[in-house]
Amino acid sequence: MTSVVVCVLELTIAASIAVLLIGLLRTALRRIAGARTAYALWLMLPISTLTVLLPTSPHPLAPVEMVPTLTEGNDSSANQLIALAVWAAGAIIMLAIAVARQRAFVRSLGNLSQLPNGAYRSANAIEPMVIGALRPRVVLPADFETRYTRDERALVLAHEQAHVRRGDALTNALATAWLCLSWFNPLMHWAIGWFRFDQELACDALVLAATGTARRRYADALLKTQLAADSVGTAVPAGCHWQSTHPLTQRIAALKRPLPGMAQRWFGTALVLTFISTGCYAAWAVRPDLQPAGLDADRTIPAQVTQALLTLPAARELALEPVGQLFRSAPVRKSQPRRCKLSRTKDRTTS
């Protein structure tokens, strides 16, 4: 039971650190290398979190048994059992609510009639969207031809088909399942909104890169979709839809930025790989089960970070080992206990 509690805590800490890093880097990376590269930064969250589950290396960090503070006494075991029960109950309840909402939304679309272009039309749909994680389908509203112009219709279809090719509906379903498991972590509730927004910006950039100069028509299509969706106030629970939970001004402002060149994209890709690698190594190295054997004073996060840094080749070349040996080889002077003056006089008399 203790191992399960520790595993959940490790995964939560790793995911929280990844979310904070992504939140700090996503906007700057979007300006440097574009929206598609910034969206790829979200790979840090699952990769760095799952890195915690990797087996530890016996060298140079010697894994030791966890300090048995969590299992001492019946009270601690009961508290762990209660915590696990609350976490599991919350995850099951949230997953059941998400599935029920998704099914209710799909039923509300009514009968879907397939169009010659492969999309589906729904009389109850308010905006273009993609539904279905395993079998994604593009669903268009009944007034699709009258609401949008011919060029706008082409842009909307290109956007939704980009979602289908990239598998964004399945990705959103997995993100929703992750959120259900991390229901107690407020950072994950914020992250799901940031993630969906970056996903839409990445699809916008992909369409604009393929169609060339169509920013004004693209912005007009966004405005029409947003106004129609705001009049009803519904959203796709786990699909892909044009209505953004962020202000429309942010998405239109992103359309005004020039698309990055090849050099910028390669540079951004290198930055993303560097950030992900660093985050994965940090999540793996600062694990509690990588504590060095020794005194309890060494079983702390700073000691674990120090041990992790010493595994790097550059750190081992520093003069840390000679300094440590110098302190270990220095003679330790034992201080004699001070005695009173009467005791010293008595010793001289006796001698």
- Per residue in 261-312, pLDDT (tens digit) is 888 889 999 999 998 888 787 777 666 555 444 444 444 444 544 454 444 4
Rounded distance, CA 328 to CA 331, Å?
8
Specify the DSSP element, H or E, that contains 130. strand 129-131
Question: What is the β-pairing status of strands 137-141 and 120-122?
Answer: parallel
| Residue 332 exposure: Cα atoms within 13 Å on the Cβ side | 3
Tell me how crowded residue 287 is: count the other CB atoms within 10 A of its CB: 20
Looking at this protein, which amino acid is placed at residue 227?
L
SS3 327: helix
Q: Provide the whole-model pTM.
A: 0.72
Which percentage of the chain shows pLDDT scores above 90? 34
Residue of 172, 5, 184 lying closest to 90 (CA atoms): 184
Residue of 191, 245, 272 lying closest to 12 (CA atoms): 191
SS3 18: helix
Q: What is the pLDDT of residue 172?
A: 93
Q: Are 244 and 200 in contact (CB under 8 A)?
A: yes
Q: Are 157 and 145 in contact (CB under 8 A)?
A: no
Specify the DSSP element, H or E, that contains 243. none
- Per residue in 197-247, pLDDT (tens digit) is 999 999 988 888 887 667 888 888 888 877 776 665 555 565 555 544 455
Q: Which two tokens stand for residue 30?
A: 């979007």
Following DSSP, what letter does each residue of 226-241 receive, concatenated?
Answer: HHHHHHHT---SSSEE
- Domain spans, the chain: 2-284
Rounded distance, CA 1 to CA 252, Å?
50
Backbone angles phi, psi at 90, to 5 degrees: -65, -40
Please give the torsion angle defined by the CA atoms of residues 230, 231, 234 and 239, in that order, rounded to the nearest 10 degrees: -60
Using only C-alpha atoms, the chain has a radius of gyration, in whole angstroms, of: 29
Q: 7-16, 107-116, 168-177, 332-341 — which is least confidently predicted?
A: 332-341
Q: Which residues, listed in sequence order, are joined to residue 130 by a DSSP beta bridge?
A: 138, 240
Q: What is the distance, to the nearest Å, from the Cα of residue 81 to the centroid of all Cα atoms in its chain?
A: 27
